[in-house]
């Protein structure tokens, strides 16, 4: 009887313990109500948000994904319980993001292009202006707009053996000035000119050499390494961090803010040129045929 009582007490204690553990665990990871194309989890212990881009097949940035990312970062900015964020992709080992959705730039009306570019501007202004530490865990290829998005973060950890770059010229289009400035800020004018003029796509190791990314690690270390550096960054006194980040980035953002309509008109005029449309169409076809 005594033995039975002891084991019953043990069972009760174990049950109480596991309930407490469960409560603690569910309190420590909070899943933000989010669209399923941008999954967000917040660790309430550290205040770190992990934003995972999850739009199959390659996180190409169409109107839906641009809007979802922008809304997410605006919410994280305003949420005082969030201390910093990690940006990553669900398609790890494959693609971080394939950049802007090319279909949105091919044979579309001026209105469609204008609306699309307005969303691109808002996405850039929101992530580039995100006031808290932001680390990109680049767990796959990051061409063009995917590279630009990673450049908007404050630190980049990349998986080995993938590619990254602002390679727009290879498609017959040109990176906008605010993408170019991101590259200049990261690697300096000389490398940026070479990279953009030639549409050069860097391997992870080459990107590390010129400072386009800050660390290259194997796949299972990408997110843990990003978390480690985020922990360090969030220890900097945050009012100072925010003020510093803002004044270093403000000039280019203000140039865009001061003439968003002009920038849209410039984009629409450029993309609607017959030779640019021809290049985009040819590129889209080549992308589709690559698999055959
Ligand atoms: C003076 C100038 C002034 C102003 C500037 C004006 C205008 C220009 C501004 C333009 C700025 C552009 C920035 C951009 O971001 S352009 C985007 C270009 N993106 C790319 O070139 C990337 C293309 N994709 C790839 O290289 C590969 O897909 C990738 C390496 C990412 C992944 O390869 P994987 O083998 O894993 O997948 P795929 O089989 O290639 O792709 C799967 C399907 O997804 C489609 N796809 C891929 N990328 C895109 C994309 N960016 N947009 C739309 N669709 C895309 C691909 O075709 C496949 O489709 P299906 O065949 O399955 O239907």
144 CB less than 6 Å from ligand 1?
yes
Q: Is 193 a catalytic residue?
A: no
- Kindly give the distance from the C-alpha atom of residue 234 to the centroid of ligand 1, in angstroms, as a whole number: 34
Looking at 44-151, which runs of residues are DSSP E strands?
48-53, 84-89, 134-138, 142-143
- Report the CATH number at residue 116: 3.90.226.10
Burial classification of residue 98, based on how many CB atoms lie within 10 Å of its CB (0-12 exposed, 13-18 middle, 19 or more buried): buried
Asked whether the bond before 57 is cis by omega within 30 degrees of 0, the reply is yes
Structure tokens at 201: 């796509």
13 lies in a domain?
A: no
Q: Note the pTM of the prediction, 2 decimals.
A: 0.91
Predicted ipTM of the assembly: 0.96
Cβ 254 vs Cβ 76: under 8 Å: no
Structure tokens at 28: 């420590």
- Kindly give the distance from the C-alpha atom of residue 133 to the centroid of ligand 1, in angstroms, as a whole number: 28
Burial classification of residue 51, based on how many CB atoms lie within 10 Å of its CB (0-12 exposed, 13-18 middle, 19 or more buried): buried
11 lies in a domain?
A: no
CB under 8 Å, gap of 24 or more: what pairs does 186-192 form?
Answer: 186/151, 186/211, 186/212, 187/211, 187/212
Q: How many angstroms separate the most distant Cα atoms in the chain?
A: 90
122 lies in a domain?
A: yes
Q: Which one from 66, 146, 167, 199 is the annotated catalytic residue?
A: 167
pLDDT value, residue 35: 72
Ligand 1, atom nearest to 105 Cα: 10
Q: Which one from 59, 76, 146, 168 is the annotated catalytic residue?
A: 168
4 lies in a domain?
A: no
87-102 pLDDT per residue, tens: 999 999 999 999 999 9
pLDDT value, residue 33: 62
121 CB less than 6 Å from ligand 1?
no
Other residues' Cβ atoms within 10 Å of the Cβ of residue 25? 9
95 CB less than 6 Å from ligand 1?
yes
Distance between first and last Cα of the chain: 74
123 lies in a domain?
A: yes
Q: Is 100 a catalytic residue?
A: yes
Domain span including residue 50? 28-291
Report residue 284: phi and psi, to 5°: -60, -45
pLDDT beneath 50, residues of the chain: 1, 3-4, 6, 11-12, 14-26
pLDDT value, residue 290: 79
182: enclosing H helix or E strand: helix 177-187
- Kindly give the distance from the C-alpha atom of residue 100 to the centroid of ligand 1, in angstroms, as a whole number: 7
Q: Which one from 84, 99, 140, 145 is the annotated catalytic residue?
A: 145
pLDDT value, residue 22: 42
Number of independent structural domains in the chain: 1
8 lies in a domain?
A: no
| Residue whose tokens read 């609607």 | 272
Q: Is 168 a catalytic residue?
A: yes
- Kindly give the distance from the C-alpha atom of residue 59 to the centroid of ligand 1, in angstroms, as a whole number: 9
19 lies in a domain?
A: no
Residue nearest to atom 62 of ligand 1 (CA): 288
174 CB less than 6 Å from ligand 1?
yes
1 lies in a domain?
A: no
Residue nearest to atom 28 of ligand 1 (CA): 98
Q: How many CA atoms lie within 13 A of 66 on its CB side?
A: 20
What is the distance between the alpha carbons of residues 8 and 17, in angstroms, rounded to a whole number?
A: 14
- CA 74 vs. chain centroid, Å, equals 14
């Amino acid at each position: 009887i005594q033995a039975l009582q002891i084991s019953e007490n043990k069972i009760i204690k174990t049950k109480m313990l596991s309930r407490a553990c469960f409560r603690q665990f569910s309190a420590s990871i909070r899943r933000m109500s989010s669209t399923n194309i941008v999954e967000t989890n917040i660790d309430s212990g550290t205040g770190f948000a992990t934003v995972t881009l999850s739009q199959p097949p390659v996180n190409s940035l169409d109107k839906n994904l641009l809007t979802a990312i922008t809304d997410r970062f605006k919410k994280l900015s305003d949420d005082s319980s969030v201390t910093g964020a990690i940006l990553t992709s669900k398609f790890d080992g494959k693609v971080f993001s394939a950049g802007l959705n090319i279909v949105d730039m091919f044979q579309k009306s001026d209105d469609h292009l204008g609306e699309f570019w307005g969303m691109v501007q808002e996405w850039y202004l929101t992530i580039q202006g995100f006031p808290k530490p932001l680390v990109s865990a680049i767990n796959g290829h990051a061409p063009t707009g995917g590279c630009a998005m990673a450049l908007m973060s404050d630190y980049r950890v990349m998986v080995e053996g993938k590619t990254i770059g602002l390679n727009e010229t290879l498609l017959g289009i040109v990176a906008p000035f605010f993408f170019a400035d991101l590259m200049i800020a990261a690697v300096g004018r000389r490398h940026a000119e070479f990279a953009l003029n030639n549409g050069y796509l860097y391997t992870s190791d080459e990107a590390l050499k010129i400072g386009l990314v800050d660390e290259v690690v194997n796949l299972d270390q990408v997110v843990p390494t990003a978390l480690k550096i985020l922990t360090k960054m969030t220890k900097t006194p945050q009012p100072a961090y925010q003020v510093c980040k803002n004044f270093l980035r403000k000039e280019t953002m203000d140039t865009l803010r001061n003439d968003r309509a002009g920038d849209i008109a410039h984009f629409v005029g450029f993309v609607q040129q017959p030779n640019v449309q021809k290049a985009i169409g040819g590129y889209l076809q080549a992308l589709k045929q690559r698999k055959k």
